[in-house]
Amino acid sequence: MKITPSSLTLNQLFGSANEQFVIPSYQRRYSWRERQIFELIEDIDLLEDGDVHLLGSIVCLTGDHTAGVNKLELVDGQQRLTTVCILLECLKQKFHSEGDATRAQELARLLTAQSYTGPAVPKVALDSIDREDFQHLVSSPQEVSLDTCGNRHLTGAFRTIRVWMSDCEVQDLAVFSYKLMNNAQIVRLDVSRSKDAFKLFETINNRGLKLSPTDIIKNFVLGNAARFGENDLDRARGAWAKIIALLDGVDTDAFFRYFLISTTSQRITMSHVVREFRRLFMNEVVEAEKLPDRHLYADEMEDDIQNENESEINIDDVPIQIDASARLSFEEFLGRLIASAKVFGQLILAKTGDGQIDRHLRNLRMIKAGQTYGFLMHLIVGNIERKTLLNVLKLTENFVLRRHICRERSNETEALFSRLCSVDPLDPVAAVRAAYRESCPTDEKFREEFTTAAFTSNIIDRARYCLEQLELLGHGKHDELAVLGSSDVHVEHIIPQKIKTKRAKEEFGDWVTYLGPNAESHHPKMVSRIGNLTLFAGQLNITASNNPFAAKKNAYKESSIRITNGLCQMSAFKFKHLVERSNSLAELAVKRWPAP
C-alpha cells in the first residue's frame, strides 16, 4: 500500500485550483449536531498566536493527475470537510453582505476548483443524497425552515452557523476566518488504489474511533469489491448509493441487523452485526472464496467466544451455519441487499403503496412490534402473495399484541420470528399459525393482563391502537374513520395523570376530593390502565369543580368517537368505575384479538 501523507492548513488544502474533493453517492447523509459544530468553532476561536488545531485526517482516492480538474474521492472525512465547507460558505456570504468584497472574493476562490480552460466547479462536491439540499441551503442565505430540506442535520448546521455569525462583529469573524484557514491543519492521506483506500479507512477507524455498523459494513463491502476488480467496485458504489436512498429516514444499523436475521433465520444482537455480516459475506459470496484472508472471518466467531465470559454468552449468538448451496455471486448479493433495503424502508415507514397492508404495518409500529421486521422482510423479498401477506399480518398483529400485553420476553419473541424466517414465503400460513399457537398466551391470561396493564407514556401508541380497534369492533365503518389515525386524535386520561398539584386542580378540577379516601395512593397504580383511557380530538377545556368528571362529560358528549361519547352515560367515574370499564374492555379485547 502506497500512502502519500501531507499535513496541510485549510488554505493549502483548498488552495490547489484544479483539485476537487468529491463526496461520493455511497456516503451517508451529513449528521453533525449543534454540539459538534460549536466544539469546532470554539476550538478555532480560542487559538492563540502560533497555536495549531488538528482537524483530523481525510483519506483521498486519487487517480492520475490531469490538466483538467482532478476529482479526489473522499473515502473518509466527509463529515468534517462538509462542516468546514459550510463554515466557509456562510463566512463568504456574511462578508459579502457586510461589504467586505476582498475577503468574500478570497473565500469564493478557495471554494471553487477550475482547470485552465474549463468552468468553475465547487471545491467540495456532494455527489451524495445531500446534494440538492446543500445547493439549496447555499443559495438561500435567509432563514430556512427545517421542513424545506430532507436532511434536518444539514439544515440545522447552516442555521446554527448563521445564527452564531449574526451575533458576531465582522472584525471578529475576520479573525476567526484567518485562524480557520491558517491555524487549523488536516492530515491528507492520498491513496491511488481503491482497495488500499478502503483498507486504510478500516485501519484508521479500528484505532479507537467509534463508527456505526453501517459505516464499517459499507467500507467492508466496497473494500472487498475493489479487490474483486474495478467493475465490481463500480457496481458496489452504485448499489450502496441505492441502499442509502432507499433507507433515507430509517435506522440503517437496524436494517443490517434485520437483514441478517431474515437471511440466516437466527436472532442476532446489534453488537454482533458487523462480525456476522462479514462472516455471511465471506461464506456466501462466490468471489470471496479466492480472498487470502477469508479464513480470518470464518474463525472470528470461535475466537470471540473463547475470550468471552461463559455466563455472558447468549444461546442465540452461536456461529451462523451457512448452506453451501446458497452461494451467490457478488452481483446477486448486492441485488439482495438492495431488494431488502427497499422492503425494510417500506416496512418501517408503512409505505408499500397498498392501503390495507400499510394500515397493518402502522398497527405493528404502534404496538412496537419491531421483532417482526426480519420475518416480514423475508416474506416480502420472497415474493409472498398479497392475500397471504394480509392473512399473516392479521395473525401477527393479534399474536404480538397478546404477547406484549402479557409481558412475555421480547428476546424470546424475536427468536421465534427469527426461526420463522426459514418458512416458505409462498406457503407460510400453516407454519406461522402453528408457531403462534404454541407461544400465544391463553385467553384467560390475556384478559387478566389487559385489565391491569399499564399503558405508560413510552407505549401510549399501543394504547391508542387498542382503543382505535375496540372503537371499530362491531360497528363496521366508522363515521369518522378518517379521523382515527390523525395527529388531531390523542389518548385522553379520564382521571388526569396529575391530580395533586395546584395547577392540576386549576386545569382539571379537584380530583383528589372527588375520588375520595386513599386517592393519592391508588392513583399511580390505576391512572395508566385501559379503563382510564379514551380517544379525544382537539383540546379538552373544562371548568374546575368538586365533581370534575361531570365537567368532562360535557366535552365527551360532543365527540363522535363512540368509545368516548359512551362515557356520558356514566353518572360517576371513580376507581371502581375505572376497574369495571377495564374489565369490560378486556372482554372485548379477547374477541378483537383472538388466539390463532
Could you report the per-residue pLDDT of 77-119, keeping only the tens digit for each? 888 899 999 999 999 999 999 999 999 999 999 999 987 777 8
Q: In which domain, by residue range, is 62 found?
A: 3-205
C-alpha cell at 525: 397504580
Contact 585, 533 (CB under 8 A): no
Average pLDDT on 566-574 reads: 91
pLDDT for residue 292 = 79
Asked whether residue 149 falls in the same domain as residue 20, the answer is yes
Asked whether residue 399 falls in the same domain as residue 467, the answer is no
**Rounded distance between C-alpha atoms, residue 361 and residue 355, angstroms:** 10
What is the average pLDDT score of the chain?
86
Asked whether residue 532 falls in the same domain as residue 452, the answer is yes
What are the CA-CA distances from residue 80 to residues 8, 23, 40, 405, 439 (Å)? 15, 12, 9, 46, 50
pLDDT for residue 385 = 97
Asked whether residue 50 falls in the same domain as residue 177, the answer is yes
Lowest mean pLDDT among 152-156, 264-268, 475-479, 545-549: 475-479
Asked whether residue 424 falls in the same domain as residue 531, the answer is no
Asked whether residue 301 falls in the same domain as residue 428, the answer is yes
**Rounded distance between C-alpha atoms, residue 59 and residue 199, angstroms:** 11
Local structure of 559: helix, strand or coil: coil
Nearest CA to 314 out of 323, 305, 322 is that of 305
What one-letter code names the amino acid at 54? L
Based on the number of CB atoms within 10 Å of its own CB, is 5 exposed (0-12), middle (13-18) or buried (19 or more)? exposed
Asked whether residue 380 falls in the same domain as residue 521, the answer is no
Residues in a beta bridge with 189? 5, 59
Asked whether residue 220 falls in the same domain as residue 166, the answer is no
Residue 562 has pLDDT above 70, yes or no: yes
Lowest mean pLDDT among 481-490, 513-522, 553-562: 481-490
Asked whether residue 435 falls in the same domain as residue 456, the answer is no
What one-letter code names the amino acid at 85? C
Asked whether residue 581 falls in the same domain as residue 453, the answer is yes
The pair phi, psi for residue 379, each rounded to 5°, is: -70, -45
Domain count, the chain: 3
pLDDT for residue 488 = 74
Nearest CA to 65 out of 19, 98, 31, 27 is that of 19
| Strand ranges, E, within 37-85 | 53-61, 70-76
- 46-63 pLDDT tens trace: 888 778 898 888 888 887
**Rounded distance between C-alpha atoms, residue 403 and residue 493, angstroms:** 24
**How many residues are listed for the chain in this entry?**
596
C-alpha cell at 223: 473494500
Asked whether residue 281 falls in the same domain as residue 425, the answer is yes
Last residue of a domain, one of 171, 186, 205: 205
pLDDT for residue 320 = 44
**Rounded distance between C-alpha atoms, residue 277 and residue 396, angstroms:** 27
Last residue of a domain, one of 408, 442, 476: 442
Last residue of a domain, one of 205, 232, 263: 205
Q: Is the dihedral of CA 456, 457, 458, 459 positive or negative?
A: positive
**Rounded distance between C-alpha atoms, residue 39 and residue 32, angstroms:** 11
Residue 316 has pLDDT above 50, yes or no: no
Asked whether residue 188 falls in the same domain as residue 249, the answer is no
